[in-house]
A and B are shown apart, each in its own frame.
Chain A
Amino acid sequence: MEKFQRYYLSFLLLIVYTNTIAQVNCNAIEGEDCKKACELYNLASDFQGYRASQEGFDKAIELCPDFANAYMEKAVPYLKNGDFVTWKGLIDKAVALDPKMHLGYRGWCKFQFLRDYSGAILDLETLKQYYPEDLGRSQNGDYNLSIVKAMSYSALGQKEKAAGIIERQLATRGYVKGMFDHYQLGVTYFELGKYDKALENFEQQSKEYDFAENIYFKSKVSKIRNKDYLDLKTLALQTYDEGKTMKDVYTHHFNKIYRKQIEEL
């Protein structure tokens, strides 16, 4: 088989594999039509973005118009491919039908794909009604949604509030830290001019998982304090070139730093 053909097939299998996460146990669904809709939904989820998949979701919705997951999954390829108008119409429908299930996801997407900070805050503050103890994780797993809320407040200039949210989250018993929690808190303190607290968090981040952006900020603090910062700058560039940077498949991270910014430090 031609090399590309092989890849093409393995790519299809990967789509099937990654989308099995969306699978629903249809035995738990009440009503014959909705059970059938659920089975159609599971099948369609395996081929996300394809014509047959979108048609499958339509059939599922026709059979069971209140089946929120079908709207949500039908919306996903529009989000990934940049058609936000169509995405919004569908995801709003999913949220209206099942806010507990889809509100957090919509809030995360508003933050991640559109930098719609006010929209994200609105969704995530409302989500607290359903999950007062723990808002859950972002879709990519990198953040707790309370940290996403904090980053949104930070972007809107409410940095003290943002730092407070992250501090409280980190102090919560049993909290499982996100990948970049201390970095985001460190940047917030840096922007507030609180360099001791900033550095404390960048150092903690280094201990848990270090990456170029974090080293860049440590270097920046040193420079502000008239200390030797060049070794850290060199390390940040080296780490960047090794590929240890803030990465996301679909978008760029909040507070991501580019190589050029490190070079210009």
Chain B
Amino acid sequence: MSKYPNTVGDIEFDRKLDAADLKKCGAGKDKPFSFQYYHGAKGFDYKGEKIAIVEKLKKENIYSENKSNGFITVRFLVNCEGKTGLFRLQHMSPDLKDTVLDVELENKLLQFTQSLDGWIPKEINGSKVDYYQYLTYKIENGKVSEVLP
């Protein structure tokens, strides 16, 4: 049994964490290879571009009382219909060590990421595919200062 998934970053369905209604539906879904957001002609593809996410986040006014610093990354799958699921969160100190920043902030950013509904299904060579996407929130003094990639 290998310690690695078929492709680095693959997320396995976990019935304790994941909604059962998200189905992989893209071409090649049974192949031991996963598409990522940067595959295909368009790359990062959200309705209204990344600035739409940044502006929505600004309206939500999400911040941490404890003025923490670091990074919070949420990885997830976008299926061939543009639906999202399999959300996984990673928190990091400013020097990228696995560190809890602020549980409340992390939950809010996870929920915010789950609320985003503008992901555009990726089409590669005429076939719709499922793909992995991530968003990294850079946290400075408890506030999101940048959204990446």
Residues on A close to B: CB < 8 A? 3-4, 6-8, 11-12, 49-51, 54-55, 77-78, 80-85, 87-88, 113-116, 119, 247, 249-252, 258-261
Contact = CB atoms under 8 A, between A and B. Distances in A.
Contacts of B124: 7, 11
A84 B136 contact: yes
B148 A115 contact: yes
Given A85-B97, A113-B148, A113-B149, 11 more contacts: A6-B125, A8-B33, A50-B8, A81-B9, A83-B73, A84-B96, A85-B96, A85-B98, A115-B146, A249-B38, A249-B43
Contact of A84 (B2, B48, B73): B73
For the complex of A and B, list the 9 residue pairs with the smallest distance between their C-beta atoms, beginning with the closest: A82-B134, A81-B9, A7-B125, A77-B8, A88-B96, A251-B149, A258-B51, A51-B4, A4-B27
Interface string B123-136: 01111000010101
Contacts of A252: 44, 50, 148-149
Contacts of B31: 8
Contacts of A114: 71, 96, 136, 138, 148
Interface string B89-101: 0101011111000
Nearest to B51: A258
B64 interface: no
A78 B48 CA distance: 27
A83 B28 contact: no
Given A4-B27, A115-B148, A250-B149, A84 B6 contact: no
Contact of A4 (B28, B36, B38, B94): B28
Contacts of A82: 9, 73, 75, 90, 134, 136, 149
Nearest to A74: B8
Given A3-B127, A8-B31, A249-B43, A81 B148 contact: no
A228 B49 CA distance: 28
Given A85-B92, A258-B49, A259-B49, A55 B2 contact: yes
Contacts of B66: none
Nearest to B52: A260
B7 interface: yes
A83 B51 contact: no
A2 B2 CA distance: 31
Interface of B: 2, 4-9, 27-28, 31-33, 36, 38-39, 43-44, 48-52, 71, 73, 75, 90, 92, 94-98, 124-127, 132, 134, 136, 138, 145-146, 148-149
A260 B48 contact: yes
A3 B33 contact: no
Contacts of A80: 36, 38
A3 B71 contact: no
A83 B8 contact: yes
B136 A4 contact: no
Contact of B75 (A49, A55, A81, A247): A81
A155 B70 CA distance: 17
A4 B127 contact: yes
A52 to B, nearest CB: 9
A3 B126 contact: yes
B38 A49 contact: no
11 contacts: A7-B127, A77-B9, A81-B36, A82-B90, A84-B96, A87-B96, A114-B96, A115-B148, A252-B148, A258-B51, A261-B51
Contacts of B32: 50-51
